[in-house]
Amino acid sequence: MFDFHKNHKLLVATAFLGFAMLSTVIAVIPALQMQEVKPLPGMEELNSEELKGLQVYVSENCMACHTQQVRNIEMDQVWGERPSLASDYYYSKQRMDLWRQSPSLLGSERTGPDLTEVGKRQPGKEWHLLHLYNPRIVVKESVMPSYPWLFEEKSKAMVTQKDEVVPVSAELLKNPNHQLVAKPEALALVAYLQSLVQAELGQNLGPDFIPSTRKKQVPASGAESLGLDGLQLYSETCSACHQPTGDGIPGAFPPLAGSEIVNDPDPSILVQIILSGYDARPEFGAMPEFGSLLSDEEIAAIATHERSSWGNQAPVVTPEQVAEIRKFILNQ
């Protein structure tokens, strides 16, 4: 019936028809369906700085090693409060121009961690800048490449108030008498990374969504009765800056080992810092607040771990103490 070997017109027409049908099913129909996607309530459009950062993110091909998708499987619970939706990408998937669609940001390989909520997990600007300049400064086991071209060394006399000085050790600079300054591209990329936070849905979307790892049932009292692992919580929340050894990063983040605040019998100052953040020492980077991210039980478990590790010896912190300090801060 089909003499393709003799009728070349029929061969070309059949091939074109097959191409058109496959293109319609695979590309055209899904594209039309995507036009119905709307942003989630509370989602904010990327500002100009964040859009520039997105362009840097794409140009440096960060998608090759990092994903931005929380799958509906148990192992992805650590990356977000819920599975990702098409609406999560509404503002980041706008066309670059008439001819170019924005490249896929979902990624397919996790050589590095998922970045869906990196803006909540690592909100500090100093950490991101150090991580971009030399990832081994903050994560010794990291295999991520360095991006030194996003920074420049300047003599101290040439540094102005507008410059963003990165608190890096002098031994890592080509000239120890210079200071490391972030270029606009680095600052834009950090602004984009800080914007990566899942929008809260504010409603029950059914059992198909992963329950948050942060939402735990609260029994009578005490971190031990909750079964919370202070070491694990510290590793997830604090170790990127203060390091697993508690030694911190010189010139960037203070050490916890041997700290007078950590070892103080009265944990009030330590708990206040965890709850409200801290930015009173110019020689160190600013610490973000964790009061909105962690429960009283989780903060008690973290503080207790810090006060009993690396040679520190201080009394246990209870959830009741954290709750009392939180109430005091809210009433100020």
* pLDDT for res 194: 93
CB atoms within 10 A of CB 117: 17
pLDDT at 209 over 70: no
Q: Residue 218's pLDDT is what?
A: 45
Element (H, E) at 11: helix 8-23
> Strand, coil or helix: what is 29?
helix
Which of 116-120, 148-152, 167-171, 196-200 has the largest mean confidence?
148-152
- Which domains, from first to last, does the chain contain? 48-194 (1.10.760.10), 229-331 (1.10.760.10)
Report if pTM > 0.85: no
pLDDT in tens, 219-245: 444 444 356 788 888 988 888 889 899
Higher local confidence (pLDDT), 221 or 140: 140
Q: What does pLDDT average to over the chain?
A: 84
Angle at 154 between CA 151 and CA 156, to 5 degrees: 135
Q: Of 12-26, 59-73, 237-251, 276-290, which range is least confident?
A: 276-290
Lowest mean pLDDT among 116-125, 151-160, 224-233, 321-330: 224-233
- Portion of the chain with pLDDT greater than 70, in percent: 90
pLDDT in tens, 85-103: 888 888 887 666 777 777 7
pLDDT of 203: 56
The shares of helix, strand and coil residues in the chain, as percent rounded to the nearest 5, are 40, 5, 55
Higher pLDDT, residue 63 or 217:
63
